[in-house]
């Protein structure tokens, strides 16, 4: 589904990713772990199309299409969706309005036509319940005055409504207490499907107790230095990243 080959990315002249290669197939859950500054968030940002990242070498393809050639919104319309570590506030824009606009923009781009309003409301209410969110969330401005936990839940709510093919979640666990993390993890787990892949970017292993990945990649200094199964994450938790770096070196 997603193929990243020998990806080199610079930000303001500094090379952050130095030849990253990664393949994610439908139905799989991958976790990327690594120390701060290793380039974890850069990877998902480049795939989503954020400005300010220069790809100097390598390719990213999604379902055979060249992602790097696509506009930001085209990537989302193709089924690539990024859940943000720090979702921005958009004052005056209702949450429900953003959800509806996003869903319909994606549907129209795929030739499916806009979803009728009653059907949309039913869908949103169902997913809200899943995320244990009150309906009043829909009427609030996007992320404005949301607590850290509410913002993260809101990101997952968007995933549940928009149903991407590849959900990329950037540090979705940061700043969550244990109860909120369970709710978020339940949401993510409900996304698991044969035709969908999930990419988790995280600093800590604890999230992976709730969302068990098929593959764990350790990203150090712009490269994946080790790949393994869920056990690898546990080792990391015990020995830290330094142990890995030493074993690689």
Partner 1 sequence: MASEEMEQLVRREYKDGFVTDIESDTLPPGLDENTIAFISKKKGEPEWMLEWRLDAYRQWLKMEAPSWAHLDYPPIDYQSISYFSAPKRPEDRPQSLDEVDPKLLETYEKLGIPLHERAALAGVAVDAVFDSVSVATTFKKQLGEAGVIFCSISEAIRDYPELIKQYLGTVVPVADNYFAALNSAVFTDGSFVFVPEGVTCPMELSTYFRINAANTGQFERTLIICESRAQVSYLEGCTAPMRDENQLHAAVVELVALDDAYIKYSTVQNWYPGDENGVGGIYNFVTKRGDCRGDRSRISWTQVETGSAITWKYPSCVLRGKDSIGEFYSVAVTNGRQQADTGTKMIHIGEGTRSYIVAKGISAGRSDQSYRGLVKIGPRAKGARNFTQCDSLLIGDKCGAHTFPYQEIGNSTATIEHEATTSKIGEDQLFYCQSRGISEEDAVSMIVNGFCKDVFQELPMEFAVEAEALLNVTLEGAVG
84 makes contact with partner 1 (CB under 8 A): yes
Q: Which residue from 158, 202, 205, 215 is in contact with partner 1, where contact means CB under 8 A?
A: 158
Stretch that binds partner 1, among 34-42, 59-67, 100-108, 221-229 (CB under 8 A): 100-108
* Separation of alpha carbons 55 and 224, rounded Å: 17
Q: How far is the CA of 195 from the CAs of 62, 111, 151, 167, in angstroms? A: 13, 20, 27, 12
Q: Which of 32, 7, 4, 31 is nearest to 17 (CA)?
A: 7
What tokens appear for 56 in the block? 């100097």
29-48: which residues touch partner 1 (CB under 8 A)? 48
Q: How far is the CA of 126 from the CAs of 133, 157, 211, in angstroms? A: 10, 10, 22
Query: Helix 148-162 vs helix 178-191: angle between axes, to the nearest 10 degrees?
Result: 10
65 makes contact with partner 1 (CB under 8 A): no
What tokens appear for 15 in the block? 């090379």
What is the pattern of x (binds partner 1, CB under 8 A) and - over residues 108-127?
Answer: -x------------------
Q: Which residue from 13, 36, 64, 92 is in contact with partner 1, where contact means CB under 8 A?
A: 92
Q: Which residue from 68, 141, 212, 230 is in contact with partner 1, where contact means CB under 8 A?
A: 141
Can you give the binding site for partner 1, defined by CB under 8 A? 48-51, 71-73, 75-77, 81-82, 84, 87-88, 90-93, 97-98, 101-102, 105-106, 109, 141, 158, 162
């Amino acid at each position: 589904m997603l193929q990243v080959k020998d990806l080199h990315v610079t930000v303001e002249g500094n090379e952050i990713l130095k030849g990253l290669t990664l393949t994610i197939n439908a139905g799989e859950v991958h976790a990327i772990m690594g120390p701060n500054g290793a380039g974890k968030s850069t990877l998902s940002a480049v795939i989503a199309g954020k400005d300010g990242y220069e790809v100097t070498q390598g390719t990213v393809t999604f379902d055979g299409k060249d992602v790097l050639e696509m506009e930001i919104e085209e990537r989302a319309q193709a089924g690539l969706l990024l859940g943000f570590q720090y979702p921005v506030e958009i004052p005056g824009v209702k949450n429900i309005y953003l959800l509806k606009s996003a869903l319909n923009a994606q549907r129209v781009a795929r030739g499916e036509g806009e979803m009728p309003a009653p059907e949309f409301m039913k869908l949103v209410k169902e997913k809200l319940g899943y995320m244990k969110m009150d309906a009043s969330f829909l009427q609030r401005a996007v992320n404005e005055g949301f607590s850290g936990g509410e913002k993260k839940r809101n990101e997952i709510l968007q995933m549940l409504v928009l149903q991407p093919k590849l959900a990329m979640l950037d540090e979705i666990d940061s700043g969550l207490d244990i109860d909120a993390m369970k709710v978020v993890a339940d949401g993510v787990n409900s996304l698991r499907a044969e035709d969908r892949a999930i990419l988790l970017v995280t600093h800590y292993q604890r999230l992976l107790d709730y969302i068990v990945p098929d593959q764990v990649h350790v990203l150090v200094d712009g490269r994946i230095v080790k790949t393994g199964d869920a056990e690898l994450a546990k080792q990391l938790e015990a020995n830290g990243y330094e142990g890995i770096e030493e074993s690689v070196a």
